[in-house]
A and B are shown apart, each in its own frame.
Chain A
Amino acid sequence: AQRVTQPEKLLSVFKGAPVELKCNYSYSGSPELFWYVQYSRQRLQLLLRHISRESIKGFTADLNKGETSFHLKKPFAQEEDSAMYYCALSGGSQGNLIFGKGTKLSVKP
């Protein structure tokens, strides 16, 4: 079965510290993976997708098929990074996005 697991419900770091939000997936085919973010009082929005291999707001994510992971990383966290982050997988049997349960990132000053 297709599944996305985000093991941490809450991640708290200090400003300037590195941050890594973990995401593991279960999928037998070739997945497409995404990170979505929801800032306080804002809509859920796409942060980045693995096929673009881009860095957005200093965040990067590498797809590791061997470890079935797609961890989100940023070398120096900023207070404005505080938000809810969702990892998502495309490739479900219905062709829809399958979301993890999310990790709340809190960056302290």
Chain B
Amino acid sequence: KAGVTQTPRYLIKTRGQQVTLSCSPISGHRSVSWYQQTPGQGLQFLFEYFSETQRNKGNFPGRFSGRQFSNSRSEMNVSTLELGDSALYLCASSLVQGISTGELFFGEGSRLTVL
């Protein structure tokens, strides 16, 4: 069974630009969560999607948004990039909604550098 796939793996943007990251979950998994990982803050929850609906959202500004498609693939978008958005963005999928009912399977991440 293929794992969680994230694209692109690496990207460089400049301040003010926007970026879209993609995540394909494990086949059959309907829940997709996004995390931002930085050396200073660790892993911080961005949002979770289940059945094309955002179910949970972390404490990030509105510049961070996402969506989920009918095939469970998910995208996240960051607009008006700031230097502080430089991070590893991790996507994780699970069979059902919410972590308490199952484990999260993580992708390798998309490393975003904002110059």
Q: Interface on A for B, CB 8 Å cutoff?
A: 32, 34, 43-46, 49, 86, 88, 90-92, 94-102
Contacts and interface: CB of A to CB of B under 8 A. Distances in A.
Contacts of A97: 33, 45, 99, 104
B4 to A, nearest CB: 8
Give the size category of B's interface with A.
20 to 34
B57 A94 contact: yes
A92 B59 CA distance: 12
B43 A92 contact: no
A43 B45 contact: no
Given A43-B3, A44-B90, A100-B42, A95 B56 contact: yes
A10 to B, nearest CB: 13
Contacts, number: 56
Given A86-B43, A101-B42, A96 B33 contact: yes
A95 B99 contact: yes
Given A32-B100, A43-B3, A94 B56 contact: yes
A101 B108 CA distance: 18
Given A90-B100, A96-B33, A43 B107 contact: yes
A46 B56 contact: no
A85 B105 CA distance: 15
Given A43-B106, A96-B56, A96-B98, 12 more contacts: A32-B100, A34-B99, A43-B4, A43-B107, A46-B104, A86-B42, A86-B43, A94-B58, A95-B55, A97-B33, A99-B44, A101-B41
A101 B41 CA distance: 7
Interface in B25-69: 33, 35, 41-45, 48, 55-58
A102 B44 CA distance: 12
